[in-house]
């Protein structure tokens, strides 16, 4: 196995734990009550009469839209009324709203205040959230990092049987955070959490069994706990289970099952799992066809993500290259291009074809959960990216291009009447290739022609003269079902999606 629990892993685990525990802080589900219309009506009457429990229940109804229209502002109002009467459940709920900006601006000092009030009354969820704040610190606007206090509050909540507090306390013991390092106690607390079905606790217990940390090594038990957590869709456990199947650790070696679990983890953005899938695809390991296709799709997506360029001063990205025939074939299963070549831009595609491609690409394994939603650029986005901050077309050295495009574009004077592999000419100042020439590129913008919308294309193509294609504002338009052997496209994505 290539997973070693070294001192470097402690830092990685700490970061993973931080992300996980803060996410759990916000994952407040509605209490297990039957929110029927009758129940909600009774809550309203009792809440107006000052009943704190009813006020808190009504806050839950408004927060999650149970029996009433979802309204976070009203949820906060009812939580506050109940909290001011000293109800710890409401104080905790109000603290969550302050911490994560539900129905109000985020305000950590107020979140800490309400967590503390509930925690001091023995409310386990609040004790755990307060411990998280102390473990990682919330800066000058909340509390400073104090791992000893974090352990104290984790212990109080853990002793009440709260599984996420038990798991977090186990992490503190395993890595010596705020308490003397003690692997056996870490295992003890992980087990308590795991036996209650807590996915992180199950995964961490599995890792202890796999590596003999605080317990005798037992690969079969490691697999058992990984599987329980993986079936709850914890990506770390899914990846670990994939590693076990890949190497035959605690289970019979099975490359297809390894790929299956890696794919599940990768779909949730697990970078280790993506790397394993990319390795499978690159090393051409023996796999059933469906498993190899899965590995190659993740490799393709991984490669595609690394070709997206953030456009300066804007909130979108564009691909360095025009969509290639290799990418089109992987997504669509066909190649309509006249000028064949895996690294050449796909041609002979209509705007409608592009929409079908985008729909399939965004639904592919590896794209979901990656943070990317691909689309066509708008006309204005394309032109801004083409100019790269210049008036005409700015090169990487900062100079602006004149009418001689030989170094940056395939045109009638140098293309030999065909497309060429992408990325062979010099990029512009934003690192984008073939913004002029090669193929016209479809955009999401359109022009009204003869009472119908015609999508706009930018960039000119291989058949135009150098003097004719050097203007970023050159445009073409065509009906959305038109296919030509000089029509292609380039991907864009929103920055927020990265």
pTM, rounded to two decimals: 0.70
Q: How do residues 369-380 score in pLDDT, each as one tens digit? A: 667 889 999 999
Task: List, as one string, the DSSP characters of 385-410.
Answer: HHHTTSSS-BBTTSPBP-S--TTT-B
* Contact indicator for 255, 242 with CB cutoff of 8 Å: no
Query: Which of 263 and 308 is assigned the larger pLDDT?
Result: 308
Residue 22: the pLDDT is: 54
Segments making up each domain of the chain, as ranges:
7-215, 316-497
Neighbours of 290 (CB within 10 A): 11
Q: What is the mean pLDDT of residues 58-85?
A: 94
Section 85-114 average pLDDT: 95
Nearest to 238 by CA among 196, 212, 276, 211: 276
pLDDT, mean of residues 110-118: 96
Of the ranges 11-15, 290-294, 427-431, the best mean pLDDT one: 427-431
Which H or E run contains 319?
strand 316-319
pLDDT value of residue 273: 85
**The pLDDT value given to residue 286:** 61
**pLDDT score for 14:** 42
Condensed to tens digits (0 to 9), the pLDDT of residues 433-449 reads 999 889 999 999 998 77
Reported as a pLDDT band with limits 50, 70 and 90, residue 466 is low
In three-state secondary structure terms, 308 is: strand
- Whether the per-residue pLDDT at 465 is higher than 90: the answer is no
Is the per-residue pLDDT at 259 higher than 50? yes
CATH 3.90.1580.10 fits 316-497, yes or no: yes
Q: Is the pLDDT of residue 413 over 90?
A: no
- pLDDT 10s digits, 237-255: 999 999 999 999 999 999 8
270: confidence class by pLDDT, cuts 50, 70, 90: confident
Question: What is the per-residue DSSP string for 435-498?
Answer: SSBSSEEEEEEEEEETTEEEEEEES--TTS-GGGS--TT-EEE--TT---TTEEE--EEEGGG-
Confidence at residue 177, expressed as pLDDT on a 0 to 100 scale:
95
pLDDT of residue 38: 86
Computed over every residue of the chain, the mean pLDDT equals 86
CATH homologous superfamily of 7-215: Tetratricopeptide repeat domain (1.25.40.10)
pLDDT in tens, 178-212: 999 999 999 999 999 999 999 999 999 999 999 99
Confidence band (pLDDT; 50, 70, 90) for 471?
Answer: low
**Distance in Å from the first CA to the final CA of the chain:** 31
Burial of 216 (0-12, 13-18, 19+ CB in 10 A): exposed
Output the six-digit token pair for 275: 């790397």
């Amino acid at each position: 196995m290539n997973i070693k629990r070294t001192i470097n892993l402690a830092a990685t685990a700490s970061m993973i734990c931080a992300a996980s525990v803060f996410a759990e802080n916000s994952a407040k589900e509605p209490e297990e009550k039957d929110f029927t219309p009758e129940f909600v009506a009774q809550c309203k009457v009792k809440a107006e009469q000052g009943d704190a429990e009813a006020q808190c229940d009504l806050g839950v109804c408004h927060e999650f839209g149970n029996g009433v229209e979802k309204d976070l502002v009203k949820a906060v109002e009812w939580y506050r009324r109940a909290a001011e009467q000293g109800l710890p459940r409401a104080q905790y709920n109000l603290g969550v709203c302050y911490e994560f900006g539900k129905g109000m601006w985020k305000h950590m000092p107020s979140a800490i205040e309400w967590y503390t009030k509930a925690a001091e009354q023995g409310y386990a969820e609040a004790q755990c959230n307060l411990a998280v704040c102390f473990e990682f610190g919330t800066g000058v606007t909340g509390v400073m990092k104090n791992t000893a206090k974090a352990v104290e509050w984790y212990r109080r909540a853990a002793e009440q049987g709260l599984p996420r507090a038990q798991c977090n306390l186990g992490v503190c013991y395993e890595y010596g955070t705020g308490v003397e390092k003690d692997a056996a106690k870490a295992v003890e607390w992980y087990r308590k959490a795991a036996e209650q079905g807590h996915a992180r606790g199950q995964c961490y217990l599995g890792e202890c069994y796999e590596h003999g940390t605080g317990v005798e090594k037992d690969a079969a038990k490691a697999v058992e706990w990984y599987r329980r957590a993986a079936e709850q869709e914890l990506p770390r456990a899914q990846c670990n289970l994939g590693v076990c199947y890949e190497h035959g650790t605690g289970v019979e070696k099975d490359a297809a099952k390894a790929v299956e679990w890696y794919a599940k983890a990768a779909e949730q953005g697990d970078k280790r799992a993506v790397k394993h899938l990319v390795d499978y695809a690159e090393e051409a390991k023996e796999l059933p066809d469906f498993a190899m296709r899965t590995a190659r799709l993740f490799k393709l997506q991984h490669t595609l993500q690394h070709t997206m360029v953030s456009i300066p001063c804007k909130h979108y990205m564009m691909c360095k290259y025009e969509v290639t025939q290799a990418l089109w074939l992987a997504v669509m299963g066909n190649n309509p291009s006249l000028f064949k070549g895996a690294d050449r831009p796909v041609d002979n595609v209509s705007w409608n074809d592009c929409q079908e491609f985008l729909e399939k690409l965004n639904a592919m394994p590896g794209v979901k959960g990656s943070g990317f939603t691909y689309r066509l650029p708008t006309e204005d986005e394309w032109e801004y990216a083409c100019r790269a901050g210049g008036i005409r077309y700015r090169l990487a050295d900062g100079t602006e291009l004149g009418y001689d495009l030989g170094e940056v574009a395939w045109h009638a004077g140098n293309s030999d009447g065909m497309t060429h592999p992408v990325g062979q000419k010099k990029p512009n100042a934003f690192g984008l290739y073939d913004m002029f020439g090669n193929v016209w590129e479809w955009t999401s913008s359109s022009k009204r022609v003869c009472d119908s919308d015609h999508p706009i294309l930018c960039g000119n193509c291989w058949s135009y003269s150098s003097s004719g294609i050097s203007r970023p504002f050159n445009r073409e338009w065509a009906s959305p079902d038109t296919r030509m052997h000089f029509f292609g496209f380039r991907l864009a994505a929103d920055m927020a999606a990265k």
